[in-house]
Chain A
């Protein structure tokens, strides 16, 4: 059931990048749209993840993330510390998501059928996962979502949230235990054994 999932590396994200965030920010602030495009592509998952931690709806979170980039684009020239673009964007996302939260009533997202998992079962999992995530404090919820939904590295998460990678690691470790209990892993594991 878990075939195809690779282990998540700790902090490899930045090594592959050609230009740093600071360089891209400065270029974009000077009017270079392509540089802003790079920033968009690099941090889109981060923006969706942070929005999702508040909004409980993937589609709404994507809308909030896109609106956050509009805000970021309009106010990029006021960013005082270009190296901290990710952290700054995260703050914008939280504000935008809060605005969305007040604009749209709290709801459960509609269940869409997937090839592997049919409606009622998915609905049950969604409720379980949501309730499990609600047990976590906001920062930890963001970390968990960025890690397991966005697939961000420890280093990327730590830069976005302004905390150390060690802290990310520690919080993830603790949250796994909490989530395991909440998700009643035994049942899931048995399903795995049975090939379900």
Chain B
């Protein structure tokens, strides 16, 4: 360990610069004259306002100089006539339904394509769910069966991180962790992020935002704004259409097809007769509609108490065992070429993980498969944080967990990766880089904590 620290400290700017110099040669030198000669046409665009052929497709034209006023007028006309890129400032003001909502109710209809058991026929059925939101961060979801009767309700309180699932048929209620993250700012705050910040949840870049035109929706004239959002998964860039009331500017609906070209209105099998049995179901998309702003909602509908006469069951809190934590850390080390991560709480490079998870299974290495399996395992258990952190919080004495594994090579039986005291135990337990665990005395640890 110490040796490694010394080594690192002495590897500085100059050494790295030397490596680059030896590998890549001297830094590149700009030669504008050569570039100009190679690209004579490019410079002709300077001083000209963008046209269809050179407009990058994002952002309204920012007028420069004396022609500004004229261009604002011209672009405004274009804005209403053709689909064009939208400037972030187009949504600078507060949008009802998106910003600081107090109460909202809405319906989401999920369109699912089912295939018959013999694979010969298919049909699309719409599944409706009713939602309500109450500031701050309380959600209620009512699920309806095919006849439109409610069969289950789920109440989520994002502030306390708890969810109450109410089975209306069995008359049972289950208090558990939410199965997904709920936005405490409101259900459609992400729409504001998409059209203003061009980044959703600080991680999903928005490739473009454009005005698609007008249409009639729920007996009102709406402006259709389309955002193409990079979901960062195998689905790639996803289309999201937002419908804004032309008169009030209220958010009226959101169309979220799973495939960008899916068009519910033109779907050929939407009128096919549903059958009782099916072999496959594919979600095609969902529509948020029937949005009602500031309706009267009852506080009791958002309580985490079961309705009278319902039996309450408490869900078992998901946790991570010591063995599972060690397997997880080992998988992370193998995933990173046999080296333990710098931090056990961000145990793998998510960009590398994303690349690996997009590979066909046959092309994945054993280490990649193991890491993906470990990650999926804890997600399935509804643990949405570092499994190591979950283990530390649940199983160890507060403040007793110490990680010294950064850079350790897997299978090194002499190298301690971390140590901690389990609750109810006085002796520290150390995990070694060969993934073995043993109880140790304080003197065997890399450093004395008291000092």
Interface residues of A (CB under 8 A from B): 1-2, 5, 7-8, 26, 28-33, 36-37, 40-41, 44-45, 48, 52, 58, 62, 65-66, 69-71, 73-80, 114, 116-117, 122, 125-126, 129, 135, 137-138, 144-145, 147-151, 174, 176-181, 183, 185-186, 188-189
Contacts and interface: CB of A to CB of B under 8 A. Distances in A.
Nearest to B406: A177
Interface of B: 4, 7-8, 10-25, 27-30, 32, 35-36, 38-39, 42-43, 45-50, 54-56, 58-59, 61-62, 64-65, 87, 336-337, 339, 342, 349-351, 407
B8 A180 contact: yes
Nearest to A44: B30
B339 A181 contact: yes
A185 B25 contact: no
A45 B29 CA distance: 7
Contact of A148 (B16, B28, B65): B16
A31 B46 contact: yes
Contacts of A186: 7
22 contacts: A28-B46, A29-B46, A30-B65, A33-B43, A48-B28, A58-B25, A74-B42, A74-B50, A75-B45, A77-B49, A78-B61, A80-B87, A135-B336, A147-B16, A176-B8, A179-B11, A181-B4, A181-B8, A181-B339, A181-B407, A185-B15, A189-B11
A70 to B, nearest CB: 4
Contacts, number: 164
Given A1-B18, A73-B45, A41 B336 contact: no
B16 A62 contact: no
Of residues B28, B36, B351, which shows the largest number of chain A Cβ atoms within 10 Å of its Cβ? Answer: B28
Contact of B12 (A30, A33, A125, A176): A176
A46 B129 CA distance: 51
Nearest to B38: A66
Nearest to B89: A80
A28 B45 CA distance: 10
Given A5-B14, A44-B30, A77-B48, A129 B62 contact: no
Contact of B43 (A26, A48, A73): A73
Contacts of B4: 181
Given A75-B50, A148-B16, A149-B20, A29 B11 contact: no
Contacts of B351: 137-138
Nearest to B63: A77
B28 A44 contact: yes
A7 B13 contact: yes
Contact of A37 (B15, B19, B32, B48): B32
Given A40-B35, A45-B30, A78 B16 contact: no
Contacts of A28: 46
